[in-house]
Amino acid sequence: MKIAIVNDMVIAVEALRRVLLTVPEYQVAWIAANGAEAVAKCAKDTPDLILMDLLMPVMDGVEATRQIMKQSPCAIVIVTANVGQNTAKVFEAMSCGALDAVNTPILGSQGKPEPSQAALLGKIATIAKLIGKSTQGSNNKSQTSNLKPQISCDTALPPLVTIGSSTGGPKALATILSRLPANFGAAIAIVQHVDAQFAVGMIDWLNNLTPLTVKKASVGDRLEKGIVSVACTNDHLCLQSNHTLNYTKDPIDYPYRPSIDVFFKSVAQYWTPRGTAILLTGMGRDGAEGLKMLRSHGWHTIAQDQASCVVYGMPRAAVELNAAVEVLNPDAIIISLLQRSVVSY
């Protein structure tokens, strides 16, 4: 797996290089000292993955991510000294196409990386699975593919809109949520591929952009009209037979965490009123099977169109499976939701 390093700090570059050397399958493709240099090098030699710093001279990591994803797209992980203090820029980079973010590992006194290397190596291993570069076998099928809808006599359930998103998802989510009115008549549940340590920051960020209330989806919660519930752990969000939310570790080896498919399929099984399900931009195929199952159960299903996607992976997979009733850009998705809210909600 060819991995590039983009960082203007010599000590950070050395820490990253040493961490990568601990895995024989990882090869340092090239090193760039700023975003502009990275854009140029990536155009000539596109790696499998870029470890991109946020704050650099000449061109920062956000703009470099934006340009690379337009010109020579590849997987990008933001690696920065303090992710927590740069939440806004992290989500800006993720909106441009970065897959995830992690703190820069620190070299110990003996020149060995501290335990922070495990977090970085874990991210790289997950992305290797997503892009087909993993040397380890993986069962990429969720374990709910044959579930049948459960009959329920609960008529008090609110209308539901469920959304799955990944690479570039924060921007699409912000566009959609910011245009929905405070009195929107449905519950909304979101599964975004994002590490648990950034989920709260993303929820706060979205909360400031929409008149709706955005909150963590916690164990035991019920989906409520006018409330946006967002998956917030590295386990998979799921709906239970009593219509409360829960998290499950299974399937353990599924590379997408939290998984959109797991949630969509649990909704298809237990949420008997027909709602709207949306699959937004993202790498891979997560959510496509779940969207198809929801469509087969009578839901109105929407996939984001190619032109507006940062990465046309998950929506493409949904279209190929004939899982989407409509293929729309975020602006059209808003119109569809508002029109259906008048009719159905």
Residues acting as catalytic residues:
166, 193, 286
What's the token pair of residue 176?
């959609």
Query: What distance in Å separates the CA atoms of residue 279 and residue 309, rounded to the nearest whole number?
Result: 11
The candidate with the shortest Cα–Cα distance to 59, out of 28, 104, 93, 106, is 93
Exposure class string for 61-88: b at 16+ Cβ within 10 A, else e: bbbbbbbbbeeebbbbbbbbeebeebbe
The candidate with the shortest Cα–Cα distance to 93, out of 80, 108, 106, is 80
**Element (H or E) spanning 188, and its range?**
strand 187-192
- Alpha carbons within 13 angstroms on the beta-carbon side of residue 227 total 12
17, 120 Cβ separation under 8 angstroms: no
101, 79 Cβ separation under 8 angstroms: yes
Helices and strands, number each (H, E), in the chain: 11, 14
CA 87 distance to own-chain centroid: 15
How much is the CA Rg of the chain, to the nearest whole Å? 20
Question: With left for phi above 0 and alpha for psi between -120 and 50, is residue 215 left, alpha or beta?
Answer: beta
